[in-house]
Amino acid sequence: MMKKLNSIKFLFAATAVLAFGSCDKGFVEKNQSPYQQTSIDPAILLSTAQRNVSTGSWEVESTIVQQFVNVFDGGVTSGFQFNLIGGADTYNVLRWNQMFSGGGQVGTIRMLDRALDLAKAEPIQRNNLIQMIRILRAMNYMILVDTYGDVPYSEANKAYSATNNTTPKYDKAADIYTDLYKELKEARAALVVGTTATNSTNAVPFDIFFGTGYLTTQASVQIPKWQRFAGSLLLRMGMRYSKIDANKAQTIIADALSGAGVIASNADNVMVPFNSTDNNPLNGGPRGTNPYYYYLYEPFVNQLKSTNDPRGKYIAAYYNEPNVINGIPQDTVLANQFGFPVGYNNSTILTKSDFKGNAQKGAGFRYSQLNYFVFGSNTAPIFVCTYSQTQLLLAEAAFRGWVTGSAETFYNNGIRASMDEYPLYPNAAAIPANAYNAYIAQPSVAFTGGNELQKINTQYWLASLGNQAEAFANFRRSGYPALTPNPMGTPLPASTGGFARRVPYPLIERSVNQASYQAAVASMGGDDVTQRLFWDKQ
């Protein structure tokens, strides 16, 4: 795996130039370097989009759902911790740039659209690649819609095409979801193992998610995993409708479970691995400048502590000097961890009656940070879509009577699967069966007591740490875990439940795409954190 990652990483630096520098018209054909590459394999664009997949941000979604927080008010960091209605553009623009391009980034959706154009030039030979691109593109758009609401879709990324459209309209979020449903079903059905008259069924090289080698990949292994990945995305989508249309939710879930079905074990987990030369970008922020700014939030740490969660020691840690996170943390004993209280910042915490104190050395406080030796490591994987999440969604669907099977079994499987992910992190060992059994036997965890939906979705919150966009989406959909709104800044209105419901659009859209932006704002009913998405019924 490390050899494959190092080989693929060699390609990333040139990908944007090769993909997008070569697609513009009007290049002078004379006096070009004979060594300059003017074409690229779209499979490499797929792998780059996989490597750059955006699962969220510690300072956006994780802060809203009270897993993690930057407690220092530094102006540009005055974002979701401080309940700014308009948000801080520092954070509003993050997902937009990651998907569409901006701030020096080539966005994943733009990359996938270009890859799709290139692959479609060889529809038979590139069939499986085309379907993989469609599946990953659908997931990215689902995340984008769940972040902002209405976004450019039908006219997006056309500036380099014959239409030269640089001001795309914003499609309605519900309409985009409808098309993504079609895309996922069609792409999954078109993936094929074995030769047919109309489709090439070759394996696709450079696949970071499921490739078994750098250039050599077994289609019999790779393709069914992509099919099940698409099924699990359909399951996510179906559950998004749980508050607004139970019949539609059941229809989509039934489609998800048909055919190849959904992710069936941790061996199917969709993840991006990292190593010492290709570092985890999600953890780069907290590990980078001023690590002493960042702490785990009290509700998350209290959930781990109150249930003696065996995952806790790999997630939370105390450092004597919070700004120095190299090496083994000083304390990972779960009972000794304290999350930063909701409703406080670096100044107001000093007067709290049970303030835990300043750091023993340097700047910062005596509160728990990420365990930078394990979960917060620069070589930790990023999980994109997992067996644990899939089983927990099935637990809720079964509890609602939408699928057959035992809700309790799905629930317990989801917890076990989450624990079984930890050996894939650096410096972590397998969580033994006796620890898991003791955990699920506790009354506050066991699938009994009449509060099953809360327990399922609290576990989803735990299992989605590091997959922030999904944690935020499921919190809005389910209403769990039961959190107390953050009173910092201006408390959010009752219509929001006290929590941000979306991320505002980037400020630059008001000038570069003004008419489309204004139409979207009118459609959404405003452009701040208070507007609910179509599936987020009050």
Which amino acid is residue 47, in one-letter code?
Answer: S
Q: Collapse the DSSP code of 312 into the 3-class scheme (helix H, G, I; strand E, B; otherwise coil) and give the result.
A: helix
Q: Please, which pLDDT band fits residue 450 given cuts at 50, 70 and 90? A: confident
Whether 131 shows a pLDDT value over 60: the answer reads yes
Contact 396, 456 (CB under 8 A): yes
- Longest Cα–Cα distance of the chain, Å, equals 76
Q: Please, which pLDDT band fits residue 220 given cuts at 50, 70 and 90? A: confident
Which of residues 178 and 165 earns the better pLDDT score? 178
Whether 111 shows a pLDDT value over 90: the answer reads yes
What local confidence, expressed as pLDDT, does residue 20 receive? Answer: 47
Whether 7 shows a pLDDT value over 50: the answer reads no
Instruction: Please tell me the number of Cα atoms within 13 Å of 204 on its side-chain side.
Output: 29
Whether 217 shows a pLDDT value over 80: the answer reads no
How far lies 423's CA from each of 211, 314, 364, 369, 431, in Å?
A: 20, 10, 30, 20, 8
Q: Is the pTM of this model over 0.85?
A: yes
What local confidence, expressed as pLDDT, does residue 78 receive? Answer: 64
Percent above pLDDT 70 for the chain: 88
How high does pLDDT run on average in the chain? 89
What local confidence, expressed as pLDDT, does residue 82 receive? Answer: 73
Q: Collapse the DSSP code of 318 into the 3-class scheme (helix H, G, I; strand E, B; otherwise coil) and give the result.
A: strand
Query: What's the rounded Cα separation, in Å, for the pair 374 and 370?
Result: 8
Whether 371 shows a pLDDT value over 70: the answer reads yes
Among all chains, which residue has been given the structure tokens 């590459």?
37
Residues 294-339: tens digit of each pLDDT: 999 999 999 999 999 999 999 999 999 999 988 788 899 999 999 9
Which of residues 374 and 27 earns the better pLDDT score? 374
Whether 405 shows a pLDDT value over 80: the answer reads yes
What local confidence, expressed as pLDDT, does residue 160 receive? Answer: 66
How far lies 239's CA from each of 243, 244, 397, 400, 412, in Å?
A: 9, 10, 8, 11, 19
What local confidence, expressed as pLDDT, does residue 102 receive? Answer: 74
Residues 23-82: tens digit of each pLDDT: 343 333 444 554 444 578 999 999 999 999 989 999 999 999 999 999 987 765 567 877
3-state SS string for 383-448:
EEECHHHHHHHHHHHHHCCCCCCCHHHHHHHHHHHHHCCHHHCCCCCCCCHHHHHHHHHCCCCCCC
Residues 6+ apart with CB under 8 A from 155: 163, 165, 168, 169
Q: Please, which pLDDT band fits residue 14 given cuts at 50, 70 and 90? A: very low
Q: Please, which pLDDT band fits residue 84 given cuts at 50, 70 and 90? A: confident
Query: 318-353 burial string, b = 16+ CB within 10 Å, else e?
Result: bbeebeebeeebeebebeebbbbbbbbbbeebeeee
Stretch 148-170: mean pLDDT = 84
What local confidence, expressed as pLDDT, does residue 271 receive? Answer: 96
Out of 101-105, 301-305, 520-524, least confident range = 101-105
Residues 176-206: tens digit of each pLDDT: 999 999 999 999 999 998 655 555 567 888 9
Whether 269 shows a pLDDT value over 70: the answer reads yes
Query: What's the rounded Cα separation, in Å, for the pair 181 and 59?
Result: 30
